[in-house]
A and B are shown apart, each in its own frame.
Chain A
Amino acid sequence: MYNVWENALAEIEQKISAGNFSTWFQDTTLLHTEDGHVVIGVKNSFFIKQLQSKFLDTIKEALINAGVEVKDINFEIQAKVKSKVRPREVTAGPTQIRDTLPTIKKNPKNQNTGLNSKYTLDNFVVGSNNDLAVAAAKSIIDKPGTSYNPFFLYGGSGLGKTHLVQAIGNEILRKHPDYKILYTPIADFYADFVDSVMKGKGKEFSNKFRSLDVLIIDDFQFIVNKEKSQEEFFNIFNNLHQSNKQIIVTSDRLPSEIKTVDERMANRLTWAGAFDLQLPKFEDKCAILRSKANLTGAEIEDEAIEYIAENVNTNIRDLESELSTILLMSDVRGLTPLELINNGSVNVVHESKLKPTTPKRVVDKVAKSFNLTTAELKSKSRVAHIKNARQVAMYMLSEELHLSTPKIALEVGVKDHSTVIHGIRKVRQDLKLNFALRDQIAEIKGKIYD
């Protein structure tokens, strides 16, 4: 077995100019040879005409020298021939040569993308906590570099940032196997950069990044406050963005909240908006656990899932680790997960059930957190600071105690329940962008149940 067409091409290459060879023969394939009838696949009719009128003799001679019987040569248009796919193999037998129709390999390049193929969109559970981000991700997979560029994704640890961005990378790679994609945590980016500068290969480093189609930077909050390296990232960022290459960045907070980030950089990162992953709600948590359990093929009762979902209030990572622990124990002890839970063998600990609290306590703690007295908070004052505190109190009463809006109105001293509705909506809106507020509310929450 040997490769006839490769050999013929090698001979043709010697005979004609490099320009002619790469223009006319680059995308050719030997489709078929039987009883001296040779069929060569080319890109379009322009190629047929040129090869027929100028290179027919050259091709014939080269094929004969490669051991092929040639009576006539025909050309056929093969649209799917891509420049990156090399000429095909043909098997040469003693009397005649046969060829099977070519298939294009799915992923011609075994590129080092830094992506882990286990992260896909299929195993990412979509819920109200992340549906916006997932919708954006899908649109990026559809048309990389157009709609959300840069795509900035933020949220606390263990909420699925890495999973989502790696899934984007994997899906794009599946759709466009020839795309150059790189996933790198920002810390590795700097390590590489410093290394390359020390070895005097700064140019190579920047070229490597500039040739990418998709750049995924994880854990951006660890960006280093070193002018030189931040400038390099900034340049690469601009370069890719200008040529409409997709940039994806994750962080645990907004860029404006990261002290080490240059202001220009921070602005640019959120040009196309910022998407956050929030803590999953109870139903979402159940869905995540169910999908995880299905993935491992283990059996678990709905009640057991609900128990775990109710008791783990930190993040998805803890949720999953709790589930694996229980599944492992159930395997070892031969009891079902629910039996284990019911006989008290497992103790789910992550921020376990909250103590009951009272509306008064909530209002007191909010007031204290805003350096106000409870009376001040409940006053009719329209001073912005006091108003804000009042609105946070409304929000917390609604979120934590699920009070009705008229009741909340009574608790915080406003007349109208529509004021309460407005207040709650405003805090919800603010929470999306205001990280400090989010921290403050988390802190108040801790004190309420303390």
Chain B
Amino acid sequence: MEIEVLAEKLSKALNNVSRIATSKVTLPVLNNVLIKVKNKQVSLVTTNLDMAIIDFLPVSSSKDGVITVPAKLLADFVSVLPKETKTNISVKDNKVTIKADKYSSTINGTPADDFPELPEIDEKKAVVFKMSTEEFKKGMEQVVVASSNDFNRPALTGIHFYTNNKVLYTVATDGYRVAKKKLVKNVQSEIKVTIPAVTIQEVLRSINDEMEEIEISFNEDLVRFRLGEIEIVSKLIDAEYPNIDNFIPKESNIELEASREELVRITKLASLFARHGANDVITCETKTPNTFSIHSIANEFGENDSIIETKVEKDGKISITSKYLLDALNVMDGEDIIIGFSESVDKITNMAVPMILKNKGSDDYIHILMPVSI
């Protein structure tokens, strides 16, 4: 096997794939990147057995063959090389020699036989969606924040993708908040799957400005993302996802509108005290005709009370976690935000009615925060 490629390109490809090369002790080959050359096509592959990343690397010349090399070591070596250097990788007796101008090193490789075979999408049965990477990225950043990392509830560690009335929705929740986004309108196929949030995060990290379109293909238990030269294949989460729509309030008794920038500011101010007090809790309050305020208290330090002047039609109060409100505001993109809440108990779920946040003039994204009882 032999390839010749610019150091810069190789380094970029290795950075893309080496992130998930784990230091799993039981199977050392998982530390490695698989370099495969067949018919002038070069692919770099890593896997952690939950997902795999494949980068198709355009090279100036190549000879067929296959080998695995410790991924981090190779990535680190190549990253130090001057960008414009022509780099040559060749293999002899499992020794991988990397030559670039005056720099040369030999790394002990492992035969590719031990490297796991990767599952592949069955193209015939696959459900495929295409969208602009920009929209995908924005949408995912808006929902992924609400996902859970409690592996005792596997479903919640994922992002749920489902279709309803020809719209593709994505949703995430950790039980305390819900983020729901209309991702694609007018889709033809139907799906209902849950993708691990870590996979989504990995996809987000792989996106760069040059990539215009992302293609997502689903099989029954597998998903594949294609963006530019990169392919990410991941397992799906095999657990029932809760029906989120039950938690989304149909209407709110109290509604107000405020600039996102100002909301972020007063929430940050309040969180300074809330995080020292009990449970990071802040209290939002409306007072007719024109006051929305956030109040927080930390016994040992003091308290905070900030207001925004905006039209309100009803007095009311709700306590929520400041971090969650801030998370939501930070991922929202509208200049003005509509906040709605109620001081009542939902008849179906028998729980306090949550706060709901939307961008003004758009129903594409909603963020729900469960109130805290104090």
Contact = CB atoms under 8 A, between A and B. Distances in A.
Q: Do A and B bind each other?
A: yes
Interface of A: 18-20, 22-23, 43-50, 53-54, 77-80, 132, 135-136, 139, 143, 147, 175-176, 273
B118 A44 contact: no
B279 A139 contact: yes
B298 to A, nearest CB: 10
B24 interface: yes
Given A44-B50, A47-B49, A48-B119, A79 B27 contact: no
A44 B28 contact: no
For A43, A46, A147, the residue with the greatest tally of chain B CB atoms inside 10 Å of its CB is: A46
Given A19-B27, A44-B50, A136-B278, A54 B152 contact: no
Contact of A46 (B47, B154, B237, B239): B47
B117 A147 contact: no
B221 interface: yes
Contacts of A79: 154, 237-239
A23 B119 contact: no
B50 A23 contact: no
A432 to B, nearest CB: 8
Most buried by A among B28, B52, B152: B152
A135 B24 CA distance: 40
B117 A132 contact: no
Contact of B26 (A19, A50, A136): A19
Nearest to B30: A23
Nearest to A52: B117
A49 B235 contact: no
Interface string B138-152: 000000000000101
B203 interface: no
B302 interface: no
A23 B26 contact: yes
Nearest to B113: A54
A49 B119 contact: yes
Contacts of A175: 152
A217 B280 CA distance: 26
A72 to B, nearest CB: 19
A139 B47 CA distance: 37
17 contacts: A19-B28, A20-B114, A23-B24, A44-B49, A44-B50, A44-B235, A45-B221, A45-B235, A46-B52, A49-B119, A50-B117, A77-B221, A77-B235, A79-B238, A136-B278, A176-B152, A273-B299
A46 B49 contact: yes
Contacts of B26: 18-19, 22-23
Contacts of A78: 238
A95 to B, nearest CB: 33
B297 interface: no
Given A23-B24, A77-B238, A44 B117 contact: no
B116 interface: yes
A139 B278 CA distance: 10
B222 interface: yes
Given A23-B24, A46-B52, 11 more contacts: A20-B114, A22-B27, A44-B235, A45-B219, A49-B119, A53-B117, A79-B237, A135-B278, A135-B279, A147-B280, A273-B299
A140 to B, nearest CB: 11
Contact of B119 (A19, A46, A80, A132): A46
B108 to A, nearest CB: 17
Interface in B21-63: 24, 26-28, 30, 47, 49-50, 52
Contacts of A45: 119, 219, 221-222, 235
A45 B116 CA distance: 12
A143 B153 CA distance: 13
A26 to B, nearest CB: 8
A47 B51 CA distance: 11
Contacts of A44: 49-50, 221, 235, 238
B49 to A, nearest CB: 5
Q: 4 closest pairs, A vs B, by CB? A: A44-B235, A79-B238, A49-B119, A23-B27
Nearest to A50: B116
Nearest to B25: A19
A224 B222 CA distance: 58
Contacts of A47: 49
Given A22-B26, A45-B222, A48-B119, A132 B278 contact: yes
